[in-house]
A and B are shown apart, each in its own frame.
Chain A
Amino acid sequence: GENVEQHPSTLSVQEGDSAVIKCTYSDSASNYFPWYKQELGKGPQLIIDIRSNVGEKKDQRIAVTLNKTAKHFSLHITETQPEDSAVYFCAASKNYKYIFGTGTRLKVLA
């Protein structure tokens, strides 16, 4: 079945440094790739997404890149701040089915 692998599972960076989280998906028909941020005790919230006809998308300090050939997509956070500390999930979607990765716990050290 469909599978999304996410790495690393935990990531610690110094405030101001960049953070990169990588995901690989198995179903080549997937066409939508959102990233979610989950803060403690809350449900995940969308922070950025990309569709299969686009290679890169940027929104202020966050960016996502997609390599369809390799079935690989990544989240980049620049100039990290303490409030970026959270769990981040990638997902791959085909039609109405959304499959999530296993999550990355990001800690930004002040």
Chain B
Amino acid sequence: NAGVTQTPKFQVLKTGQSMTLQCAQDMNHNSMYWYRQDPGMGLRLIYYSASEGTTDKGEVPNGYNVSRLNKREFSLRLESAAPSQTSVYFCASILGSSTEAFFGQGTRLTVV
């Protein structure tokens, strides 16, 4: 059972480049999330999708877009990467409201 799978694990981008971070879960969960983790700032919510077909902004959505492609997949897109987006990105999923969140292994993104 793979759980939550994120690709890629590492990425280096130049300022202004675009890329999409992929996330897929095989637990038939309804809700999916994207967080970024920076030193001293914990996990900050970028976007979430409570159910297939819906997406909502979190605490730090600027500079990002998301797509809930289907129930399994939730992607995060950086249209024009900036050094401030250097971070570790985590995808998570939950079965329903007020239940355990399962996290992927993270994507370490560096923007130079």
Residues of A within 8 A of B (CB): 1, 6, 9, 31-32, 34, 36, 41-46, 49, 51, 89, 91, 93, 95-103
Q: Mark B29-43, 1 if CB is under 8 A from A, else 0.
A: 001010100001111
Bound CA–CA A82/B52 (angstroms): 42
Bound CA–CA A42/B106 (angstroms): 7
The answer, among A6, A9, A49, A96, for a CB contact under 8 Å with B100, is A49
B35 contacts across to A, CB distance below 8 A: 100
Decide if A96 touches B59 in the complex (CB within 8 Å): no
Assess whether B45 is interfacial by the CB under 8 Å rule.
yes
Query: Closest A-chain residue to B101, C-beta based?
Result: A98
Decide if B48 touches A97 in the complex (CB within 8 Å): yes
Which residues of B from 44 to 70 have beta carbons under 8 Å from A?
A: 44-45, 48, 50, 56, 58-59
Query: Closest A-chain residue to B43, C-beta based?
Result: A100
CB distance from B106 to the nearest CB of A (A): 6
Please count how many residues in chain B sit with their CB below 8 Å of the partner chain's CB atoms.
Answer: 27
The answer, among A1, A97, A101, for a CB contact under 8 Å with B42, is A101
Decide if B106 touches A96 in the complex (CB within 8 Å): no
Query: Closest B-chain residue to A93, C-beta based?
Result: B98
Bound CA–CA A46/B99 (angstroms): 10
The answer, among B43, B45, B94, B97, for a CB contact under 8 Å with A44, is B43
Q: Mark B70-107, 1 if CB is under 8 A from A, else 0.
A: 00000000000000000000101010011111011110
